[in-house]
Structure 1
Amino acid sequence: MKLTDHLSSADRERVEARLDHNLIAWLTTVREDGQPVTVPVWFLMRDDETILMYTRPEKAKLKNLEANPKVSMVLDGADLGRNMVRMEGTVQRAFDVPPANEVPAYTAKYIERMQSLFGTPADFADLFAAALIVTPTRLRIN
């Protein structure tokens, strides 16, 4: 994975596993008034090293990213601030991406949560109908 090429082999293996298996990332967008806003998101690291996520079409993050497509992401972790994976990049709305319930890897990753929180993957996809693609430009760990 080119995004992690700068890391030692041990760090690369750990980070790539987290990119594949972590369920929550924290996405920061910036409001038009300059105020950063951080929200939890479900995400899928894709083979082309972009990150797919879905949001509700009425959410403020869509307005934020239209005004400023620069974002930061941090993988959720409970290691007292150690082993953090932080990314910077740009995000855009993706109108050519299938709904979440038609993306097998995304559905497989989140099926239990989709069912317990929303009923079915199709119910989730109906609510979270706006696809977003993050293109990471930098990855850092600490």
Structure 2
Amino acid sequence: MNPVHIPQSHRDLLESDACVALTTVMPDGQPQITPVWCDREGDYVVLNTMRGFRKEQNMRANPKVTLLVIDPKDGSRWIEVRGTVVEIRREGAEAHAERCIRHMHTS
């Protein structure tokens, strides 16, 4: 996603094992929401999905997306991140998925 300002008070949510909901836009204009793994690389939010999945197809067709992350310990604490996908790449995808899995099992 494009660089977005994420308040210091909520950066931990993007680095936690919280469930992240990704909203993309279907070809007919309807929203499509799916859970994803994500983390941050500097000012960028990095997502992971499989090639050919509906969300990947949607992001290629319309790169505008929204993420919703809810604190698993406090449902009243959450962050919505709106942005534009700036790059879809395979390079590093497996390593990113492995990092996310390791993080989930050590949190």
SS in 1 for 2:52: coil
Task: Return the alpha-carbon distance in structure 1 between the equivalents of residues 99 and 50 of structure 2.
Answer: 20
Bigger RCO of structures 1 and 2 (CA < 8 A, at least 6 apart) = 2
Answering whether residue 47 of structure 2 is matched by residue 45 of structure 1, we say no
Preserved CA contact (<8 Å) 1:45 1:51: yes
Question: 105, 110, 119: which is aligned to 2:101?
Answer: 110
Structure 2 residue aligned with 1:140: none
Residue 10 of structure 2 corresponds to 15
Per the alignment, in what secondary structure is the counterpart of residue 97 of structure 1? coil
Aligned residues: 101
**TM-score normalised to the size of structure 1?**
0.59
Partner of 2:50: 56
Matches within 5 A, 1:67-78: 67-78=61-72
Contact 2:22 2:36 in 1 (8 A): yes
Moved over 4 A (4+): none
Which letter does structure 2 place at the counterpart of 1:111? Answer: R
Structure 2 residues without counterparts, runs of 5 or longer: none
Residue aligned with 2:57, SS: helix
Q: CA deviation at 1:16?
A: 1.6
Distance 1:100 1:23, change over 3 A: farther
Identity level (%): 24
Distance 1:42 1:17 in 2: 14
| TM-score, structure 2 as length reference | 0.76
Q: 1: CA distance between counterparts of 2:50 and 2:93? A: 12
Q: Contact 2:65–2:84 (CA<8 Å) still a contact in 1?
A: yes
